[in-house]
Structure 1
Amino acid sequence: MAVLVQKYGGTSLQTLDRVRRAALRIEAAWRRSPSVAVVVSARGGRTDELLRLAADVGASGQSRELDQLLAVGEGESAALMALTLNAMGVPAVSFTGRQAGIRTTDRHGDALVSGIGAERVRAALAAGQVAVVTGFQGVDRAGDVATLGRGGSDTSAVALAARLRAATCEIYTDVDGVFTADPRVLPAARCLPWVDPGVMAEMAFAGARVLHTRCIELAAMEGVEVRVRNVSSQAPGTTVAERQDDRPLETRRAVVAVTHDTDVARVLVHCRDSRRDLAPDVFDVMAARGTVVDLVARSGPYENEFRMGFTIRRSEADRVREALHEVAASFGGGVHFDTDVGKVSVVGMGLLSRPEYAARLMGALAAAGIPTSWISTSQMRLSVIVPRERTADAVETLHREFSLAAAPPGDAVPPAPGRSATV
């Protein structure tokens, strides 16, 4: 029998009423097809509470002990959901990442899923039980708890769906799906019925908070269809999957969405010794600390000074600050961090092949009086840095420029055969 995997985020489980509401949705799915696995996040605010406790006792940075503590949040959610389902007459059993056989790499706080055994999960499903699995965690080679970092529960759900050969992984959250822009910033934003996995990965990397890049990349590699649904409504949500389209490729809408990210720091590294190429040293610092670099520009080999600029997450600046200063200072250089910036991106398909899109982006922002610096272009994303306080203005300007409030003709995805759009 086909397996359905559902994932419930922290806001979906924040109160007991929300836990019961999610349980009712799980019960409905189980009664239609009693082979349901559920992945849960920590209840809303619980992870932050645990982080504050760790900070209160002087803990800092990622560590084995912090992962031991943070894993408590998901364990609480899984047990509470299983208890709720059992009380409703739905047989359910909860599993930690270890019990579900989720294996990870050894990096605490930002581990990768390396494999899933899932024997006990399979046995529970075969017995007609709902398997409730903790997201965000697994065990490393030493047998210690390791957490998966940003978007960890989404990644857990997709990885479990791939291991169980589930055709669909439903991600339940507090919004109706994936929008053309953040609806909290732009109420005119439109919910997209479907998004290509590659486009969704770019949107996630560029600031869309609904799904994480790692989750979508894994879904694309494993052929798992992801559906983003609102736990509080019957809206069909957004399907993230490849779709055959009768319209010729070059007549489809190129721009799909506008995303923004204010968790951005602009980093400038300089050194007067032009004979020394610091770029490898800089990237070594980033890689050793698991920090992603974007919008990179650097001086050429015939210039009198080495200069390199790039963006990172503002929340990760302290992780790399000291090491970058040491590298630059050893060659008589320095580092400057600018955290008063935001990144706005236009995401779609074939953007680099249409140079007019970059021209329209820059022209629209200039006409709105929004200063820009540093632009990056690719086939799927145009990103620009703006002052942080003008980020929302830039989102509204570009959403209007590319007419994203109106749906293109035929932009709908019917439910796949045998599935309901209003589960």
Structure 2
Amino acid sequence: MDVLVQKYGGTSLGTLDRVRNAAMRIGQAWRSGRSVVAVVSARGSRTDDLLRLAADIGPTTPSRELDQLLAVGESESVAMMALTLRGLGVPASSLTGHQAGISTTDRHGDALISTIATGPVHAVLSERRVAVVAGFQGVNRAGDVTTLGRGGSDTTAVALAAQLRASACEIYTDVDGVFSADPRIMPAARCLRWIHPEVMAEMAFAGARILHTRCVELAAMEGVVVSVRNAMSQAPGTIISELPDDRPLETRRAVVAVAHDTDVARVLVHCRNGCHDLAPEVFEALSAQGTVVDLVARSGPHEKEFRMGFTIRRSEVSRVRDALHKVAVGFGGGVHFDENVGKVSVVGMGLLSRPEYTAKLMAALSAADIPTSWIFTSQSRLSVIVPQDSTVAAVDALHRAFQLDRQEPRPPVRNGTAPTSEHVIPARDR
């Protein structure tokens, strides 16, 4: 089968007109002779509405019952999409995560996909029907419904594309693709036609909301070529893959985008007893809550006071506050949370090999009178912490400093031959 996986996010399905528009696009692909799997998210703000409903009853900590409730949004979407497709004359069958054979780990609210038994989906496709699969959900070993957390529907789509050996995986959203900065705050941002998976993963981790890091990492591991496109237009979008391009290897642009994140908090853990290393206990407490850590710094082994700083998501502070206080207080220390910060990052390839880029980042922010604190550097990302109310100004300063509003220079003509396209796209993705 020539399988095409398409994923439609909540904004792409927010109204009945948008559901119909997505169904028409799905139907067009099906009529071209391809086998189509459509992965759908909950419509519009449905998940948030369900969370508010649960909050009116009691705590909304991840649990079996909360997952059972949240999965309703996607289950509703698959049924509506299948009905809409049938109304357009396109045969379709809806499948929940369980019905689609998606098995996950046991962690409620943030489960990982472990296996997919593709038999049910293949059965639908073999009968020339569209398989409409609920994203964001699966079932654990006990048979309980689980949800996949942030980016769960994107991850579902990529996992299905990998298991079905799909020729393409298209992620439909409400923007034209992946931009050099958030176009909502940076009108000069450019839509990138191609981006390397490693760079996309760093952008996602640094705050770009187009795709979640889990989805991009899975696509890279499984060799799935992902296209990000606008559900409301025919724009070509952005291709995420390891496709080669024809630009000079060491003179191509290293920085490709600026990402920002305001869901950030700085955490400072201290203890007067410098002889005891609290780091293992701190990381164990964070791991137990599934909390991701960034920008870590700590005191040395011979200092009299233990000090450790790192950043986490501000939205997770309430979840980890008590656990961290318990660790620190047990050794006569304490924990301080600073939630009035933002993180701004320049993302690209080979950044550590170009130390002038760190200098340029710091000079641009200094010239804009934006104070900075913690800095992180790697081959793919340079991140800095700024005051939260300076985050947008920092994005603007860095976008201009690295001239990301300009198209990258084309390679020169060689031997009278015109340069090829900006990047190579497989025929199936053109």
With the shorter chain as reference, the TM-score category is over 0.9
Which position in structure 2 is the counterpart of 1:200?
A: 200
The Cα of 1:185 is off from its aligned counterpart by 1.0
The Cα of 1:400 is off from its aligned counterpart by 0.2
The Cα of 1:418 is off from its aligned counterpart by 3.9
Which position in structure 2 is the counterpart of 1:388?
A: 388
The letter for the 2-side match of 1:206 is A
Distance 2:326 2:133 in 1: 43
The letter for the 2-side match of 1:403 is Q
Indicate if the aligned counterparts of 1:34 and 1:130 stay in contact, CA closer than 8 A: no
The Cα of 1:414 is off from its aligned counterpart by 5.0
Which position in structure 1 is the counterpart of 2:3?
A: 3
Which position in structure 1 is the counterpart of 2:156?
A: 156
Which position in structure 2 is the counterpart of 1:413?
A: 423
Residue 284 in 1 paired to residue 284 in 2? Answer: yes
Residues 365-404 of structure 1: pairs in structure 2 closer than 5 A? 365-404=365-404
The Cα of 1:5 is off from its aligned counterpart by 0.1
Distance 1:221 1:419 in 2: 20
Distance 2:428 2:254 in 1: 31
SS in 2 for 1:155: helix
Q: Deviations over 1:203-245 (max 9, x none)?
A: 0000000000000000000000000000011100000001213
Residues 23-38 of structure 1: pairs in structure 2 closer than 5 A? 23-38=23-38
The letter for the 2-side match of 1:294 is D
Which position in structure 2 is the counterpart of 1:88?
A: 88
Residues 319-330 of structure 1: pairs in structure 2 closer than 5 A? 319-330=319-330
Which position in structure 1 is the counterpart of 2:250?
A: 250
SS in 2 for 1:247: coil
Distance 2:325 2:297 in 1: 19
Which position in structure 2 is the counterpart of 1:313?
A: 313
Identity over aligned pairs, percent: 72
Which position in structure 2 is the counterpart of 1:104?
A: 104
The letter for the 1-side match of 2:17 is D
Structure 1, unpaired ranges of 5+: none
Indicate if the aligned counterparts of 1:349 and 1:380 stay in contact, CA closer than 8 A: yes
Which position in structure 1 is the counterpart of 2:333?
A: 333
Distance 1:184 1:16 in 2: 25
Distance 1:238 1:34 in 2: 22
SS in 2 for 1:250: coil
SS in 2 for 1:345: strand
What is the number of residues matched between the two proteins?
A: 420
Distance 1:63 1:314 in 2: 21
Indicate if the aligned counterparts of 1:349 and 1:379 stay in contact, CA closer than 8 A: yes
The letter for the 1-side match of 2:301 is P
SS in 1 for 2:427: coil
Indicate if the aligned counterparts of 1:13 and 1:43 stay in contact, CA closer than 8 A: yes
The Cα of 1:59 is off from its aligned counterpart by 3.0
Indicate if the aligned counterparts of 1:193 and 1:239 stay in contact, CA closer than 8 A: yes
Which position in structure 2 is the counterpart of 1:13?
A: 13
SS in 1 for 2:192: coil
> Which is further off, 58-67 or 132-141?
58-67
Q: TM-score, with normalisation over the residues of structure 2?
A: 0.97
User: How much is the aligned-residue C-alpha RMSD, in angstroms?
Assistant: 0.9
Distance 1:325 1:146 in 2: 30
Indicate if the aligned counterparts of 1:34 and 1:125 stay in contact, CA closer than 8 A: no
The letter for the 1-side match of 2:263 is D
Residue 235 in 1 paired to residue 235 in 2? Answer: yes
Which position in structure 2 is the counterpart of 1:58?
A: 58
Residue 116 in 1 paired to residue 126 in 2? Answer: no
The letter for the 1-side match of 2:314 is R
Distance 2:80 2:42 in 1: 11
The Cα of 1:60 is off from its aligned counterpart by 2.5
Indicate if the aligned counterparts of 2:167 and 2:428 stay in contact, CA closer than 8 A: no
After the TM superposition, which segments of 4 or more aligned residues of structure 1 sit over 4 Å from their partners? Answer: none
The Cα of 1:416 is off from its aligned counterpart by 1.7
Distance 1:126 1:252 in 2: 45
Residues 287-298 of structure 1: pairs in structure 2 closer than 5 A? 287-298=287-298
Which position in structure 1 is the counterpart of 2:300?
A: 300
Which position in structure 1 is the counterpart of 2:260?
A: 260
Q: Deviations over 1:166-187 (max 9, x none)?
A: 1210000000000000001111
The letter for the 2-side match of 1:370 is I
Distance 1:409 1:117 in 2: 47
Distance 2:51 2:60 in 1: 9
